[in-house]
Copies of this chain bind each other. A is one copy, B any other.
Amino acid sequence: MSRTDPLETALERAFGRVVGAQTPPRLMAAMHHAVFPGGARIRPRVALAVAAAHGPVPPRAESLAVAIEFVHCASLVHDDLPCFDNAPVRRGRMSVHAKFGESLAVLAGDGLIVGAFEVLGHAIVEQPRLAGAIGVLAAAVGANGGLVAGQGWEDEPSTDVQRYHHAKTAALFEAAVCMGAIAAKVDPAQWRPVGTALGEAYQIADDLGDLISTPTELGKPVGQDLIHDRPNAALELGPERAFARLEATLARAVDAVPPCPGQDEFREWLGSACARLFPRRPVVHHLPVREEAPLRA
């Protein structure tokens, strides 16, 4: 990310609108820590790339991308809390609750969720055609199949793995492509399958990372799925088959790109973004393969 990355500029500007003179300083610092510096920002970049595939990026498209990233950051802050993953490290630094305490971590997440909708609200007042973005974001984050539901399944005695992963990962990727489509004034439904496949690919890559990466590579603890008894495709299938499934799922995402003026460029962008983001197939020896049925299947 360069300093002049337009997405980072948009994130900084939007952040400056959701905090201000009436924000307690430590809360502001905790929220800032949650958003800056970010990770790959893949979800908002997908949203902007979808919008760009239909022509010049339309006004306020960046607000939709920012909203996606704010809720993603909020979800990381809450997921890291002691009552969930109790993760001390995120993006190679202390997690928000480890650095600022649990109460400010709860509030930082709350403030970023509210901030995401605030950013959308400002955009909609200026561009009423974006009104559908509220429902899309809420569905991707909320209690009925969104991020909140995904985390909630971990509190159930059993759950369907696909439903769990869809809520926890794919829903926000679907929202990202739909946001791009809404910005471009095209039907979001035609883009949704790209988001679904991309979310599934991301989940497999995440599972592989948890299994075969080091904490330094990943910027967060590894081996968490075994510790928390969560389903992990790389554990179920073994790394070789997991890599094969990752590649097939990415191919499905590329195939699903609907006809649009920038179809080829979008596919090319997606391929190179995923190549940078996802783990590469290594020469693997002696990796653990779980032999039993999935614990939460």
A110 CB to closest chain B CB (Å) equals 5
Integer count of this chain's copies in the complex: 2
Is the C-beta of A132 less than 8 angstroms from some C-beta in chain B?
Answer: yes
Complex interface residues of chain A between 147 and 183 (CB less than 8 A to chain B): 148-149, 151-156, 159, 163, 167
Is the C-beta of A220 less than 8 angstroms from some C-beta in chain B?
Answer: no
The 8 A CB mask of A118-162 against B (1 = contact, 0 = none) is: 101110110010011011011101111110110111111001000
A227 CB to closest chain B CB (Å) equals 16
A128 CB to closest chain B CB (Å) equals 5
Q: Which residues of B contact A128 (CB under 8 A)?
A: 128, 131
- How big is the A interface, by class? 35 or more
A16 CB to closest chain B CB (Å) equals 10
Task: Assess whether A143 is in contact with B28, with CB atoms less than 8 Å apart.
Answer: yes
Q: Which residues of B contact A23 (CB under 8 A)?
A: 143-145, 149, 152
A174 CB to closest chain B CB (Å) equals 13
Is the C-beta of A51 less than 8 angstroms from some C-beta in chain B?
Answer: no
Nearest to A134 among chain B residues (CB) is B121
A31 CB to closest chain B CB (Å) equals 6
Q: Which residues of B contact A102 (CB under 8 A)?
A: 83
**Which of A101, A118, A132, A146 counts the most chain B CB atoms within 10 A?**
A118
Q: Which residues of B contact A144 (CB under 8 A)?
A: 18-23
Say whether, besides A106-B81, A135-B125, A101 and B142 are in contact (CB < 8 Å): no
Say whether, besides A107-B148, A156-B26, A143 and B101 are in contact (CB < 8 Å): no
Say whether, besides A31-B143, A107-B143, A128-B131, A156 and B24 are in contact (CB < 8 Å): yes
The 9 sampled A-B contact pairs (Cβ below 8 Å) are: A19-B144, A81-B106, A107-B152, A110-B148, A121-B135, A124-B134, A125-B132, A131-B131, A134-B134
**Extra A-B contacts (12), CB below 8 Å, given A111-B149, A125-B135:** A22-B149, A24-B152, A83-B106, A101-B155, A103-B155, A104-B152, A107-B143, A110-B113, A111-B143, A118-B139, A121-B138, A128-B131
